[in-house]
């Protein structure tokens, strides 16, 4: 039997009287692209917040490579190899692209404590090399020394993926990687996702169904905090319950 990779078992997450995630069991396989789709407010970002330790579940268990991760602080989960990028762009706007990625790479060497972020800033060559590698991989090397706030929206979103990649994760969670992008930027992001999929396990929340259907190996559909369906892109496209809850109407 294959050991489960990333797994949720009967997970609930309540915010006061709101049950954002309800009895969710889901297995995310290694080495594949899993897309999480569903209407606004379905619980997709909450699912990411649970996987990355921002919140603990109200009930149920989450495991990664057979180890419980629910209840662990976010930095421990990152150190175990699980990183994320955000639905809302998240970087230091006044720093350059290179500095942003280098700080993230440096976190690997400094125990993730914020006070250590800048301490050995100039001493360490390795984070700098990692940062250059990451920028190259994202085709951002030409803007390495530009201040992040001056980059285009598409570049900023890719930079954010770079910040997540700088910790050399095995699993990368991306929350709406194409949100707010032009059609060209979306196309570039789709290609980037396909490249990253060559050596990472990817979990993406995405509303652009063209992107989802092209990049995903597996799709999980969430509706009102519960799992509505899982399957291949073909299965999901022909699933009546999914059509009714999401693909037919609610999709952006
Ligand atoms: N920190 C929080 N405190 C209180 N309620 C929250 C919190 N985070 C999410 N919720 C609620 O949980 C539910 C699920 O929200 P979530 O952001 O996970 O949805 P989503 O599927 O990511 O939606 P979208 O597609 O709009 O990004 C919503 O009712 C939301 O208001
Ligand atoms: Mg969301």
Proximal ligand: closest to the CA of 43 = 1
Separation of CA 143 and ligand 1 centre (Å): 34
- φ, ψ (nearest 5 deg) of residue 127: -55, -35
* DSSP secondary structure letters along 222-235: EETTEEEEEE-HHH
Separation of CA 40 and ligand 2 centre (Å): 7
* DSSP secondary structure letters along 26-48: EEE-TTSEEEEE-STTSSHHHHH
Query: What share of the chain has pLDDT > 70, as a percent?
Result: 89
What's the pLDDT tens digit per position in 152-206? 999 999 999 999 999 999 999 999 999 999 999 999 999 999 999 999 999 999 9
- To 5 degrees, how large is the angle CA 30–CA 59–CA 204? 35
pLDDT (0 to 100) of residue 247: 76
pLDDT (0 to 100) of residue 110: 58
Range 9-31 average pLDDT? 97
Pick the atom of ligand 1 nearest to 87's CA. 27
Separation of CA 175 and ligand 1 centre (Å): 13
Separation of CA 222 and ligand 1 centre (Å): 12
Q: Distance between CA 171 and CA 204 in Å, rounded?
A: 11
Cβ–ligand 1 contact at 37 (below 6 Å): no
pLDDT (0 to 100) of residue 246: 83
Mutate to test the pocket of ligand 1, among 45, 52, 206 (most ligand atoms within 8 A of CB): 45
pLDDT higher than 90, residue 225: yes
pLDDT band at 250 (very low <50, low <70, confident <90, very high): very low
The set of residues, in sequence order, having a beta carbon less than 8 Å from that of 16 and lying 6+ positions away, is: none
pLDDT (0 to 100) of residue 115: 47
Q: Distance between CA 40 and CA 142 in Å, rounded?
A: 36
Residue closest by Cα to atom 18 of ligand 1: 43
CB 140 within 8 A of CB 78: no
Cβ–ligand 1 contact at 49 (below 6 Å): no
What's the pLDDT tens digit per position in 121-145? 555 578 999 999 999 999 999 999 9
Q: Residue 129, Cβ neighbours under 10 Å: how many?
A: 12
pLDDT (0 to 100) of residue 1: 56
The ranges of the chain annotated as CATH 3.40.50.300 are 1-81+173-252
Which of the following CATH numbers is that of domain 1-81+173-252: 2.40.110.10, 3.40.50.300, 3.40.109.10, 1.10.10.10? 3.40.50.300
Strand order of the β-sheet with 82-85 is: 82-85, 171-175, 201-205, 33-37, 218-223, 226-231
DSSP state of 245: I
What's the pLDDT tens digit per position in 192-216? 999 999 999 999 999 999 999 999 9
pLDDT (0 to 100) of residue 249: 53
Pick the atom of ligand 1 nearest to 207's CA. 25
What's the pLDDT tens digit per position in 81-122? 999 987 666 899 999 999 999 999 987 665 544 444 555 555
pLDDT (0 to 100) of residue 177: 95
Cβ–ligand 1 contact at 22 (below 6 Å): no
């Amino acid at each position: 039997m294959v050991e489960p990779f990333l797994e949720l078992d009967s997970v609930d997450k309540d915010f006061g009287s709101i049950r954002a995630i309800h009895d969710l069991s889901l297995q995310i396989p290694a080495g594949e692209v899993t897309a999480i789709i569903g209407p606004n407010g379905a619980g997709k970002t909450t699912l990411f917040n649970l996987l990355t330790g921002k919140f603990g579940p109200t009930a149920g268990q989450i495991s990664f490579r057979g180890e419980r991760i629910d209840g662990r602080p976010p930095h421990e989960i990152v150190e175990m190899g699980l990183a994320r990028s955000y639905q809302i762009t998240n970087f230091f706007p006044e720093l350059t692209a290179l500095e942003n990625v280098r700080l993230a790479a440096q976190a690997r060497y400094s125990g993730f404590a914020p006070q250590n972020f800048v301490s050995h800033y100039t001493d360490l060559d390795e984070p700098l090399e990692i940062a250059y590698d990451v920028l190259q991989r994202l085709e951002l090397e030409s803007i390495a020394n530009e201040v992040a706030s001056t980059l285009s929206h598409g570049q900023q979103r890719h930079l954010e993926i770079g910040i997540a990649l700088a910790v050399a994760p095995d699993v990368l969670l991306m929350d709406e990687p194409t949100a707010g992008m032009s059609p060209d930027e979306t196309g570039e992001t789709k290609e980037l996702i396909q490249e990253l999929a060559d050596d990472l396990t990817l979990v993406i929340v995405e509303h652009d169904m063209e992107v989802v259907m092209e990049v995903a190996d597996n799709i999980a559909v969430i509706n009102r905090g519960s799992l509505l369906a899982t399957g291949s892109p073909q299965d999901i496209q022909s699933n009546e319950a999914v059509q009714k809850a999401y693909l037919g109407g609610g999709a952006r």
